[in-house]
Amino acid sequence: MTGQLTAGQLSASELEKIRADFPILSRTVRDSRPLVYLDSGATSQRPRQVLDAERAFLEQHNAAVHRGAHQLAEEATDAYESARARIAAFVGAQPDEVIFTKNATEAINLVAYGLSNSAVAGGAAERFALAPGDEIVVTEMEHHANLVPWQELCRRTGATLRWYQVTDDGRLDLDSLELSERTKVVAFTHQSNVMGTVPPVAELVRRARAVGALTVLDACQSVPHTPVDFAALDVDFAAFSGHKMLGPSGVGVLYGRRELLEALPPFLTGGSMIEIVKMEGSTYAAPPQRFEAGVPMTSQAVGLGAAVDYLSAVGMERVAAHEYALTEQALTGLSEIPGVRIIGPSDCIDRGGAVSFMIGDVHAHDAGQVLDDLGIAVRASHHCAWPLHRRFGIAASVRASFAVYNTPAEIDALLAGVQEVRRFFRVPA
């Protein structure tokens, strides 16, 4: 997301129409207060269109996909593969470059385990094998899902983990690390789930390419909020989750460039992913089937296809413009409240709609509790980015995160809620 907006923002009536698609947004919480849902960074709400698509699939077409020749099996397989094709188009990928996983965490683990399995797979996979002396590079702002799998990969292979540091204003410090010929993987987020920071992807990819390293992009916080084209970004792998983009939980996506997926050994093995099975050993199917062992989640994939249709109908440029305006309103409002400290960039340049902050020395749990009492749902924790919080000398923060269905009035409610936290816990002006 940049400062230049090319699309018009959503009008009030359009926004009202969108909100009407999300039944949960009209409920009340905590003594009849209207729900102000500002926790879409954790999980987003789902529109009726997604719920209906799942129900229609289950009521009319349900069967195990890629098995059997009966009519339902054909229809289920068509629905599943149609979802894959639409999701692929949504992120600038070919259908056979999209692998369905349980979630984004599994998608990143699939890459990490594929790489370590390369050591024993032989053949084309040898190019991926890691050894002591090799380096895997991440950043200090990663979600645990894009950190712990790499720590574990290092442990299994003897490779060394290194990381780019974060500046005081929440940007990636590109001078904090030099890649080298030893660097084999550079894994980084497309948008910090805590600070909203969008790192310079093109520059990171350029540096990784220059030393022959693979790039892995955690796109969980970008794909739901802004137009994303993995081919144009030129990353090797990317992961995102369904439930953060108006879709179901239980489904995530791994994107991989075709020639890499063709060479990568499998992570999970079993049914569906094989080519020939003999008692003595087996060979494996081409991607994406090689990476989808067992009967996959089906209604969830169909639901995610419907979520992509929904977002496309609104238009991702407009989604981004809408959330940009909300983020700007929140940052401006918060910066005017005495005692509030924003964790991360305080401007809207290269920044998405996740805003984390501290209110005086009030613990995030306590602040979150007061906001919850007002019906405002925010996240109060380290947001699965513990090292980043440690870097800023805090245990936890309050995070408000936005989605297409949020309104300027909800940002006003958040700002009023922050004032109430100050009053309740007597934060000095």
Partner 1 sequence: MKLEQMYQEIILDHYRHPHRSGLREPFDAESYQINPTCGDEVTLRVALDGDRVADVSYDAIGCSISQAATSVLTDLVVGRTVAESATTMDAFMEMVQSRGKVEPDEKVLEDAVAFAGVSQYPSRVKCALLGWMAFKDAVGRAEAGSSDNGAQRAEAQ
Between 75 and 386, CB nearer to partner 1: 386
CB of 215 to partner 1, least distance (A): 30
CB of 399 to partner 1, least distance (A): 12
In 3D space, the residue among 116, 127, 125 whose CA is nearest the CA of residue 153 turns out to be 116
In 3D space, the residue among 294, 270, 279 whose CA is nearest the CA of residue 102 turns out to be 294
To which residue do tokens 């005495």 refer?
338
- The answer to whether the CB of 137 falls within 8 A of the CB of 185 is yes
CB of 164 to partner 1, least distance (A): 22
Give the separation between CA 257 and CA 238, rounded to whole angstroms: 9
Residue 392, interface with partner 1 (CB under 8 A)? no
| Beta strand segments in 121-242, E | 135-139, 160-166, 172-173, 183-189, 214-218, 237-241
Window contacting partner 1 (CB under 8 A); options: 60-68, 102-110, 201-209, 361-369: 361-369
CA distances from 144 to 6, 44, 158, 381 (A): 34, 19, 20, 13
Strand partners, 282: 277
Phi and psi torsions of 219, nearest 5°: -105, 20
HSE, side-chain direction, 13 A CA sphere, residue 367? 28
Considering only 96, 152, 328, 373, the residue that binds partner 1 (CB under 8 A) is 373
Give the separation between CA 192 and CA 196, rounded to whole angstroms: 5
Catalytic residue among 154, 220, 348, 384: 384
Residue 55, interface with partner 1 (CB under 8 A)? no
Residue 31, interface with partner 1 (CB under 8 A)? yes
Give the separation between CA 243 and CA 47, rounded to whole angstroms: 12
Residue 421, interface with partner 1 (CB under 8 A)? no
Pair of tokens at residue 94: 């070919």
Between 165 and 369, CB nearer to partner 1: 369
The question of whether 348 is a catalytic residue gets the answer no
Residue 416, interface with partner 1 (CB under 8 A)? no
Considering only 186, 204, 370, 413, the residue that binds partner 1 (CB under 8 A) is 370
Considering only 249, 366, 391, 419, the residue that binds partner 1 (CB under 8 A) is 366
CB of 424 to partner 1, least distance (A): 7
Residue 381, interface with partner 1 (CB under 8 A)? yes
Considering only 70, 206, 365, 423, the residue that binds partner 1 (CB under 8 A) is 365
Between 82 and 381, CB nearer to partner 1: 381
Give the separation between CA 251 and CA 80, rounded to whole angstroms: 12
Give the separation between CA 365 and CA 347, rounded to whole angstroms: 26
- The answer to whether the CB of 167 falls within 8 A of the CB of 173 is yes
Residue 369, interface with partner 1 (CB under 8 A)? yes
CB of 193 to partner 1, least distance (A): 15
Window contacting partner 1 (CB under 8 A); options: 218-226, 231-239, 283-291, 364-372: 364-372
- The answer to whether the CB of 86 falls within 8 A of the CB of 97 is no
CB of 381 to partner 1, least distance (A): 5
Q: Which residues are catalytic?
A: 384
Binding site for partner 1 (CB under 8 A): 30-31, 363-366, 369-370, 373, 380-382, 386, 389, 395-396, 424-425
